[in-house]
Amino acid sequence: MTEQPQPSAPSAPRYVVVTGGATGIGRATALDFARQGATGVIVTGRRKDKLDEVAALHPALVPVCADVSTQEGADAVAEAVEAWGGTVDVLVHNAGVHTIGAVGSIDPEAARELFAINVLGTIILTNRLLPALTAPGGSIVFVTSPAGHNPTPMASVYAASKAAVDTFTRSWALELAPRGIRVNAVAPGWVRTEVYESHGMTTEQVDELFQQAATSVPMGVTGVPEDVSRWITLLAAPGSAWMTGQILTMDGGADLVRARQV
């Protein structure tokens, strides 16, 4: 059922772009911004059916079918931004894919595609939208991973892509601070989303993986998308105006345990 728009808090972000906003963490983030009173939240992705599904949930959600790894995708997002007056208060780089592969047998094509989405995609869209980003007061939030600073075996390509994103977070924060634009990131641990099924695992395999994963988490539980989205909206909120260049890990303490094992 479509939710009713709420009156905006005077300082809440009004115009938001969430890449990969039709599913998982992106979807929860887009809904959080909309429920907090954003006027418009563009959600992007490649699957139109998924975008239409999420857009039906709240009138502030604007679906834009766009591949983040392409200039055409960025142009399509910019066109939708133009339609609401050419302003973006918050840009959330959430779209991402995962791949596994042992050193020596990494599939170069899969690696190329992953870097095109997880890394180059954030450059292409930022290039296109930066002139529209509110300055001062605008904010970029990346969705990275603890793997970016604490890599696991068999996922080196994914970890390297998130390490690149971690570097963008700090480097762009420095570059954009004089314009009053902040750049931060969230690094979630195990979150049950469709990313696992999209990479060929059955639901039973994912259930088993998450049961196993929970035993490695000090808090004893894995996460849900809302455990992450609430931090994304908080990082973007005007009340966080002094916070930039930071990468917040939320994972029930798992990263601390892995760091001690190294």
Ligand X SMILES: NC(=O)c1ccc[n+]([C@@H]2O[C@H](COP(=O)([O-])OP(=O)(O)OC[C@H]3O[C@@H](n4cnc5c(N)ncnc54)[C@H](OP(=O)(O)O)[C@@H]3O)[C@@H](O)[C@H]2O)c1
Residues with a catalytic annotation lie at 158
The DSSP letter of residue 4 is P
Site for ligand X contains 205 (CB under 6 A): no
Site for ligand X contains 252 (CB under 6 A): no
Choose, by CB under 6 A, the member of 35, 57, 67, 134 that binds ligand X: 67
Choose, by CB under 6 A, the member of 13, 63, 188, 252 that binds ligand X: 188
Quickly tell me which residue has 């009053």 as its tokens.
180
- Phi then psi for residue 201, to 5 deg, are -85, 145
Stretch in the footprint of ligand X (CB under 6 A) among 21-29, 33-41, 177-185, 234-242: 21-29
- Calculate helix-pair angle for 121-129, 71-83, nearest 10 degrees: 30
Site for ligand X in 131-150 (CB under 6 A): 143, 145
Site for ligand X contains 172 (CB under 6 A): no
Q: How far apart are CA 28 and CA 92, in angstroms?
A: 12
Q: How far apart are CA 148 and CA 228, in angstroms?
A: 17
Quote the radius of gyration of the chain (alpha carbons, Å). Answer: 18
Site for ligand X contains 30 (CB under 6 A): no
Site for ligand X contains 46 (CB under 6 A): yes
Q: How far apart are CA 128 and CA 16, in angstroms?
A: 15
Binding residues for ligand X (CB under 6 A): 19-20, 22-26, 44-47, 50, 67-69, 94-97, 117, 143, 145, 188, 190-191, 193-195, 198
